[in-house]
Amino acid sequence: MTLRSFLVKRFVYTIVLIFFVIILNWVIFEAMPGVTGSLYDVVGGHNRLAAQQIAAQDALYGLNQSAIVQFEDYVRNMVTFNFGISFHDNQQITKELVSSGRLVNTLVLVGLSTIVSIVIGILLGILASRRRGSTADNLFVTASLTSFSLPTFFIGIVLIFIFADALNLFPPVGTIPGSWAAGLPPWYDQIIPRLKYLFLPTLTLTLFTYGGFLLLTRATMMETLSEDYITTARAKGLSERVILLRHAFKNASLPLVTASALSFGGILGGAIITETIFNYAGLGRWLYEAVLYKDFPVMEAMFFIIGLCVIAANLISDIVYGIIDPRIKYE
């Protein structure tokens, strides 16, 4: 099978999988018990809204339609990325997603921490595999296992205590001074303040994530370095740097491609715990608030976007496989 035939086949599978995600997303929220939206909850034996208000809300959200009509509207909204209206603030979800700055904030935070984690994890993993059993290897593995085992909220609280409370070097919470509603300073005046607010949450996610890449790189590299062609390369007198990077790492990188792709696949899901701890205005905290308010349209939109990112990441990783290793045949 040629690469072109494989791509056509994978795109067809991707479209089918996307519609499966759409249907599953619908079924999950329809199967949830209780009444849709926190505004309809009963408090002290009485509804929060009067009967007329509930009827108006149902008409606004289309909840007074039949299940088939609601499903058709839902599918249309997902396909066109017109995710409807939020239960919480009655705002258009797509507009809120872009104009509020949450999307940019999450892309910067999670994207930056993911890139830094991958680079640090791979570099330290290569060094650890080269010096297997040494003090540096034991130190790298112990540090990565420790940071990987700690929950992000604990890491975040410790960093706030050290860098914000004790040393007073970085702000403990927030995204940037000011607010989107009140107006922000020009972009060139935001760079330094944004970096200060970004440091602690980025460091938290980096410490939590890099260990997985380090351990995976170390394991794959150690397996590759035991192959016969590595022994042959050393017998030819090639430098250790050439052996590690051009021969061993290239053949050991396929699992890393999958891990990296999946990491970027979940980037738009945000970092729920980290963004909540640091009061960072991103998609993760928005999703957390949507769960608290039972804001089903926002949750449906976020879950659908996360699913799309993961599907796209898997597709990209399959394509990269063929570029890195020509021996792979798609059958």
d(CA 228, CA 326): 20
Does residue 321 lie in a domain region?
no
Residue 20: count of CB within 10 angstroms of its CB = 12
Global pTM exceeds 0.85: no
Query: Is 217 in the same domain as 119?
Result: yes
Query: For residue 287, which of 108, 155, 103 has the smallest C-alpha distance?
Result: 103
Q: Which helix (H) or strand (E) holds 306?
A: helix 296-324
Query: Is 154 in the same domain as 203?
Result: yes
How many domains does the chain divide into?
2
Does residue 325 lie in a domain region?
no
d(CA 201, CA 159): 9
DSSP sequence for 18-37:
HHHHHHHHHHHHHS--S-SS
Query: Is 112 in the same domain as 253?
Result: yes
pLDDT by 10s per residue, the chain, length 331: 666 777 788 888 888 999 999 999 888 887 776 655 555 554 444 556 666 766 776 776 777 777 788 888 888 888 888 888 888 877 888 888 888 788 888 888 988 999 999 999 999 998 888 888 888 889 999 999 999 888 889 999 999 999 999 988 888 888 776 554 445 566 556 677 788 889 999 999 999 999 999 999 999 988 888 888 888 888 888 887 888 878 888 778 888 888 888 887 777 766 888 988 998 888 888 988 888 888 888 888 888 988 888 888 888 887 777 677 666 555 5
Query: Is 113 in the same domain as 88?
Result: no
Burial class of residue 197, CB neighbours in 10 A (0-12, 13-18, 19+):
buried
Where among 92, 126, 160 does a domain terminate? 92
Does residue 329 lie in a domain region?
no
Query: Is 282 in the same domain as 134?
Result: yes
Query: Is 80 in the same domain as 110?
Result: no
CATH number of the domain that residue 235 is part of: 1.10.3720.10
Query: Is 59 in the same domain as 139?
Result: no
Query: Is 140 in the same domain as 248?
Result: yes
Query: Is 47 in the same domain as 109?
Result: no
Where among 42, 65, 92 does a domain terminate? 92
Distances (CA, A) of 216 to 225, 247, 273: 14, 17, 24
Query: Is 114 in the same domain as 84?
Result: no
Range of the domain at 28: 3-92
Query: Is 71 in the same domain as 107?
Result: no
Query: Is 144 in the same domain as 262?
Result: yes
